[in-house]
Structures are given as structure tokens and as C-alpha cells.
């Protein structure tokens, strides 16, 4: 079985994946790692969509904040374009795991309902998660402070506020897309985090 766990950054995908690995002995791979393989071998001129977010990260902090707050929809479209490029690495990986008869969890931002829906001859389960809650900005800040290796640990309040705006926008988009394709969407702010994690795992694994 192939398990897909998709959602915006900073909503709990990695935490859920680690819990599944520890309790259910299912291997996990992130779409970020699969995308990194493509980035290492492809020319940006030939596959520009694959490097869109990299270009965003190279912008001045103030410009990134403005993009996430004032041009949120445009930034979301850029993320979706990169997701579609990364998916070109996800499909052959999933097909190989299927052929080898292995269970695997694929988690990441690049998992979009429209892309998963196109898979053929692959048995899968999928859950999309998001966070549209008013407290998510504080959740992002607290999570970053608790992990000294977190790249957002030194982010300013304005950047975290802007990032939370983007997460909300992408969460809303994924909720709508999940509804269109008949997939499960779970709102992580609807209950305490630990309870939401259990709900996601139970739904994803069919427990």
C-alpha cells in the first residue's frame, strides 16, 4: 500500500510521519528529498518549475514577506507549479515501491489531489491536512523555538505572520481540492494537536 500525506509546510506532516514509522514500521520518504534528486541532475533552464521556491528563498526577506501577504495567491500558484515538477520524481518512486510490494508513506507539500488522482494501477490511501486556525502563527513560532536546528528559529514576527498567512491560504486550497476529488482533509486546528495526529493516522492507515 502507498500512503500519501500532503499539506502545507508547518502543519505537522513530519511529526505524523515519525509517529507512523515508530509505531507501524512503515518506511517514509518526503517529496522534498525526491525533488532534491531532480534538482541535482536537471538544468533550471530545462525544468524552471522545479526551482521556483529556491528563487523565492533567495529574495530579500522584506520581498518574501510582501509576496506571502500581498500576493498570497500568486505565491501559492508558484508552489503548485513546483509541486507538479517534483511529482515527476514521485511517480516512478511509487511505481517501484508498488512493484517491490513494499508499504511506504510519501509525505510532503508536493502531494496534490489532482496529481494523486492521476495515478493508475497503484493502490493508495491519502489524507490532506492543513491549519486554518487563528493560533497557527503561535504554533509555528513555538515549534521553531523548540528545535535549535529549525531554519525558522531566528525568523522575525513579521515573517512568521506572513508565513502563517500562506499556510492558511494553501490549507484552504487543499481542503477545496480534497472535496473535489473525494479525498480526506483534516483540519489540524479543530482539536488538540495530539488528538489531530491520532485522527490523521487512523484515517490514513484505515485503523
CATH number, domain at 54? 3.40.50.300
121's grid cell:
494501477
> Each residue's pLDDT tens digit in the chain (207 positions)?
999 999 999 999 999 999 999 999 899 999 999 998 888 888 888 788 888 888 888 999 999 999 999 999 999 999 999 999 999 999 999 999 999 999 999 999 999 999 999 999 999 999 999 999 988 888 887 877 777 767 777 888 899 999 999 999 999 999 999 999 999 999 999 999 999 999 999 999 998
Phi, psi angle pair for 193, to nearest 5°: -55, -45
Cα distance between residue 110 and residue 115, in whole Å: 9
Parent domain of 155 = 2-205
Q: Which is nearest to 11 in space by CA: 150, 186, 195, 188?
A: 188
Q: Are 49 and 87 in contact (CB under 8 A)?
A: no
Q: What b/e sequence results for 83-121 when a residue is b if at least 16 CB atoms lie within 10 Å of its CB, and e otherwise?
A: bebbbbbbeebbeebbeeeeebbbbbbbbbbebbeebee
Domains of the chain: total:
1
Radius of gyration of the chain (CA): 17
Pairing of strands 2-6, 27-30: unpaired
Q: Which is nearest to 174 in space by CA: 165, 183, 164?
A: 183
CA–CA distances in Å: residue 80 to residues 3, 77, 115 = 20, 5, 11
Per-residue confidence (pLDDT) for residue 149, from 0 to 100: 66
Amino acid at each position: 500500500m502507498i500512503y500519501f500525506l500532503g499539506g502545507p509546510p508547518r502543519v505537522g506532516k513530519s511529526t505524523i510521519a515519525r509517529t507512523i514509522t515508530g509505531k507501524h514500521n512503515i518506511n517514509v520518504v518526503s517529496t522534498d528529498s525526491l525533488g532534491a534528486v531532480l534538482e541535482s541532475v536537471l538544468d533550471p533552464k530545462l525544468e524552471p518549475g522545479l526551482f521556483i521556491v529556491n528563487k523565492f528563498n533567495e529574495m530579500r526577506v522584506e520581498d518574501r514577506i510582501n509576496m506571502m501577504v500581498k500576493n498570497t495567491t500568486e505565491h501559492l500558484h508558484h508552489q503548485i507549479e513546483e509541486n507538479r515538477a517534483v511529482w515527476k520524481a514521485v511517480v516512478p518512486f511509487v511505481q517501484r515501491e508498488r512493484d517491490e510490494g513494499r508499504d511506504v508513506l510519501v509525505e510532503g507539500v508536493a502531494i496534490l489531489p489532482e496529481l494523486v488522482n492521476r495515478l493508475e494501477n497503484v493502490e493508495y490511501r491519502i489524507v490532506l491536512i492543513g491549519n486554518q486556525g487563528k493560533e497557527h502563527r503561535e504554533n509555528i513560532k513555538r515549534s521553531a523555538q523548540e528545535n535549535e536546528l529549525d531554519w525558522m528559529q531566528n525568523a522575525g514576527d513579521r515573517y512568521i505572520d506572513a508565513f502563517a498567512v500562506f499556510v492558511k491560504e494553501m490549507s484552504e486550497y487543499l481542503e477545496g481540492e480534497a472535496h473535489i476529488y473525494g479525498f480526506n482533509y483534516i483540519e489540524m486546528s479543530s482539536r488538540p494537536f495530539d488528538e489531530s495526529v491520532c485522527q490523521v493516522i487512523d484515517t490514513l492507515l484505515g485503523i
